[in-house]
């Protein structure tokens, strides 16, 4: 694969999706052009965690083989996602004294302050966890908040408030091992909600304040943005499968029939439409109430001007945006992702947003130019390039 080709692999509980993209140019505009996609039913996962390595490896191989055939070249490395209930975040503060004689703040001072904030993370939280993303949210010089980066300013004390997005260390290692067994080198690893945000949210939405909600088959993940930076990330152990199970129980029908009704591919049947709507709305209300409780903890309930953006397979449910709007008292819309006209069937499905976002990250790797406030810094740890992302304001 050439350097202007990137592969994104989203390993979800329902499906494993692969997107291959190349860097294309139209005038002065540079954009990713999708050259191949592949997918396979995910097996061996539960709530985003690997339970059966052989089954997971088989799913990866099937999806990669399909994408390789479509793209016309073998896929051997990729930027991959990590999701599930193992994702979490914590905010911590660190302070350092400026050591230069002229009191000017340097890049080393900033790094030392961020390292100090990492050391303040409680052991009870960091045990068995690995930091995926380090996101400095706010800097203060001598107690006064500043906009942007502090390098070049003068002062005696630098303070930083940092958001750390983490995952279970063993979960990360199991994913890397599964890809290695499938013959894929993991270039980078990115939290699924962060990858999805690159293609489902605009900079204007991130500046104003927005909550991106990815409704998967077994989990619902949310990431809240404000001032173009992530404020919080949370994953709930509830998803589209719970809606399917509720329909099957409520209407006393088989699970496969319930899934078809939920997705709108199966119409008719001897059941009340009103009863179906009540079942679906009850479970969706549970999901949105969890999101509302989280926003209240952040002090952002009803206070995100860009509202809620819905993505993932569960976002295809009818009237879901209306229910979200009513429950959260926020503007609501369902995200859409178009891969362009060059893909057979022209895929337009928000459930591909993670894989597509991973491609964008892969194409921008090593660039100094940030994407929506994200600057990528590659690090190596234990021989793996997987402890590498920093979001900088």
Instruction: Kindly indicate the confidence band of residue 14, based on its pLDDT and cuts at 50, 70 and 90.
Output: confident
12, 83 contact by CB (below 8 A)? yes
The conformation of residue 48, written as its DSSP 8-state character, comes to T
Q: If you average pLDDT over residues 288-315, what whole number do you get?
A: 94
Assess whether 39 and 184 both reside in one domain. yes
Q: HSE, CB side, 13 Å, CA atoms: give it for residue 201.
A: 37
Burial 350-366 (b: 16+ CB within 10 A, else e): bbbbbbbbbbbbbbbee
pLDDT tens track for 208-264: 999 999 998 899 999 999 999 999 999 999 999 999 999 999 999 999 888 888 877
Specify the number of domains making up the chain. Answer: 3
Which residues make Cβ contacts (< 8 Å) with residue 253, sequence separation at least 6? 247, 261, 269, 271
Average confidence score pLDDT of the chain: 86
Beta bridge partners, 389, equal 133, 376
* CATH number of residue 262's parent domain: 3.30.420.40
Range of the domain at 235: 203-334
The answer on 142 and 109 residing in a single domain is yes
pLDDT of the residue at 148: 85
Q: Are residues 62 and 184 in the same domain?
A: yes
pLDDT per residue as tens digits for the range 144-172: 999 888 999 999 999 999 999 999 999 99
* Residues 230 and 325 occupy one common structural domain: yes
pLDDT band per the 50, 70, 90 thresholds, residue 182: very high
Asked whether residue 99 is domain-assigned, the answer is: yes
């Amino acid at each position: 694969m050439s350097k202007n080709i990137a592969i994104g692999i989203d390993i979800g509980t329902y499906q494993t999706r692969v997107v291959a993209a190349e860097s294309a140019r139209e005038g002065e505009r540079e954009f990713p052009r999708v050259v191949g996609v592949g997918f396979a039913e995910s097996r061996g996962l539960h709530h985003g965690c690997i339970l059966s390595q052989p089954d997971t490896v088989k799913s990866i191989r099937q999806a990669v083989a399909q994408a390789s055939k479509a793209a016309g070249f073998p896929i051997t490395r990729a930027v991959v996602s990590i999701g599930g209930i193992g994702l979490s975040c914590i905010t911590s503060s660190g302070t350092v004294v400026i050591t230069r004689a002229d009191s000017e703040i340097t890049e080393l001072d900033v790094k030392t302050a961020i390292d100090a904030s990492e050391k303040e993370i409680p052991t009870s939280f960091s045990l068995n966890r690995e930091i995926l993303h380090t996101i400095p949210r706010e800097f203060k010089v001598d107690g006064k908040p500043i906009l942007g980066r502090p390098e070049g300013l003068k002062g005696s004390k630098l303070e930083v408030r940092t958001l750390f997005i983490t995952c279970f260390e063993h979960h990360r290692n199991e994913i890397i091992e599964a890809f290695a067994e499938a013959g894929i080198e993991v270039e980078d690893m990115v939290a699924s909600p962060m990858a999805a945000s690159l293609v489902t949210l605009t900079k204007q939405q991130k500046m104003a304040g927005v909550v991106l909600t990815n409704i998967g088959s077994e989990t619902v993940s949310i990431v809240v943005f404000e001032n173009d930076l992530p404020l919080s990330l949370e994953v709930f152990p509830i998803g589209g499968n719970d809606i399917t199970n509720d329909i099957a129980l409520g209407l006393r029908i088989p699970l496969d029939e319930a899934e078809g009704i939920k997705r709108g591919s199966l119409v008719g049947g001897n059941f009340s439409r009103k009863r179906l709507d009540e079942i679906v709305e009850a479970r969706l209300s549970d999901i949105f109430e969890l999101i509302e409780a989280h926003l209240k903890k952040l002090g952002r309930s009803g206070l995100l001007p860009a509202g809620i953006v819905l993505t993932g397979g569960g976002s295809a449910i009818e009237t879901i945006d209306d229910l979200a709007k009513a429950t959260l008292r926020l503007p609501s819309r369902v995200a859409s992702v178009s891969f362009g006209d060059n893909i057979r069937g022209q895929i337009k499905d928000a459930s591909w947003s993670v894989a597509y976002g991973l491609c964008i990250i892969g194409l921008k790797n090593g660039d100094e130019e940030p994407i929506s406030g994200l600057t990528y810094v590659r690090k190596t740890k234990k021989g793996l390039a997987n402890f590498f992302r920093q979001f900088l304001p």
